[in-house]
């Protein structure tokens, strides 16, 4: 079992993530990774994930390289691409033993107590997401895009790491935690602004983090939630919500249409790090398969879409994708 590690941040929060990805020592269950917890200069927790230079010799990787070499690839990525940046996923190896109940749109909009619970958890969890760095998998996707092999990138992730890794024009299907939207006036604002406001009204608040979740919140003891204070929109006084799609919420129609158009214009669809459990992403695999567009899946573990895939590579994205780039002779500089 992976051993947790703890480090207090400036607000007095104790982190105890249930993931080997933030362990101070290499995890024997995931030997391709080693991770280090360090100090960011303010006493806070930073996470640096070092990827071993592991080579792969898999027939399936050759098949994947053949698909990508044709160009015209649409990428659909999920949480498994970001686990090696220290962000856990729900259904892959790092999330299998960690039950979690994500916030629903109906609960958030219908209850002030639910909003307080969400913002208390997200206020702390966002710091982990915000400090995460793109990993070798993100940089490999950017390299493939630089080589004009991709028609576009769709991500189900809300962490912004594709863009941080150098990818361009990423369609963020479920939004981005770096933005906040007012449900009253529709104003968008930076998450960093809200973070400063929440810190100001919760100076004396202390909580202990039990686990970090991939949607940017954390698990907290119930007794730590009651004292947390929320804030409203400073323009209209409306309810603030992260600019992400909650469970039970509909993805904006124009965004979905852009994703379908991208898949329809592609020669192939390559899925990276998604179990495809949620229809929000799986529908694009179904659409590609219906059109006769080849589907390739790279994921650590089985996925819902395996039966639709012509190519399947089972392995860590931070190892598979750099090896793919090497085989294609694609090198990203900078």
Active site residues: 174
Crossing angle for the helix pair 112-131 and 191-201, to the nearest 10 degrees: 120
Residue owning tokens 């991939």: 214
Between the CA of residue 151 and those of 132, 137, 270, what are the distances in Å?
Answer: 26, 18, 11
Q: How far apart are CA 234 and CA 225, in angstroms?
A: 23
Per the CB < 8 A criterion, the answer to whether 2 and 23 are in contact is yes
Residues of the chain by 3-state class (helix, strand, coil), percent to 5? 35, 20, 45
Structure tokens at 169: 């024009």
Strand pairing partners for 188?
A: 181
The SS3 of residue 150 is strand
Alpha helices in the chain (DSSP H): 59-69, 105-110, 112-131, 136-146, 161-164, 191-201, 253-264, 279-291, 317-328
* 3-class state of residue 180 by DSSP: strand
């Amino acid at each position: 079992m992976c051993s947790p590690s703890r480090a207090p941040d400036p607000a007095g929060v104790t982190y105890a993530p249930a993931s080997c990805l933030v362990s101070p020592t290499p995890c024997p269950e995931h030997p391709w990774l080693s991770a280090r917890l360090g100090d960011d200069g303010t006493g806070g927790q930073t996470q640096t994930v070092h990827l071993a230079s592991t080579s792969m010799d898999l027939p399936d990787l050759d098949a994947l390289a053949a698909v990508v070499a044709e160009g015209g690839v649409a990428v659909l990525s999920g949480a498994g691409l970001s686990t090696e940046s220290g962000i856990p996923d729900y259904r892959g190896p790092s999330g299998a033993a960690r039950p979690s109940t994500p916030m629903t749109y109906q609960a958030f909009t219908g209850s002030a107590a639910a909003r307080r619970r969400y913002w208390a958890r997200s206020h702390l969890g966002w710091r982990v997401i915000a400090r995460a760095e793109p990993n070798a998998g993100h940089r490999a996707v950017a390299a493939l895009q630089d080589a004009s092999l991709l028609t576009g990138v769709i991500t189900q992730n809300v962490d912004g790491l594709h863009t941080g890794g150098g990818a361009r024009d990423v369609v963020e299907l479920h939004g981005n935690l770096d933005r906040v939207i007012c449900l009253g006036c529709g104003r968008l604002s930076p998450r960093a602004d809200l973070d400063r406001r929440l810190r100001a009204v919760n100076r004396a608040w202390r909580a202990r983090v039990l686990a970090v979740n991939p949607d940017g919140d954390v698990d907290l003891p119930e007794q730590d939630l009651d004292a947390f204070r929320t804030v409203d929109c400073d323009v209209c006084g409306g309810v603030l919500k992260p600019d992400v799609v909650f469970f039970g919420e509909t993805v904006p129609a124009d965004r979905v249409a852009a994703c379908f158009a991208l898949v329809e214009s592609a020669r192939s669809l390559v899925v990276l790090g998604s179990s495809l459990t949620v229809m929000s992403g799986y529908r694009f695999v179904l659409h590609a398969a219906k059109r006769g567009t080849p589907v390739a899946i790279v994921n650590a573990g089985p996925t819902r879409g395996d039966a639709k895939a012509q190519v399947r590579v089972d392995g860590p994205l931070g190892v598979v994708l750099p090896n793919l780039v090497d085989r294609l002779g694609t090198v990203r500089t900078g």
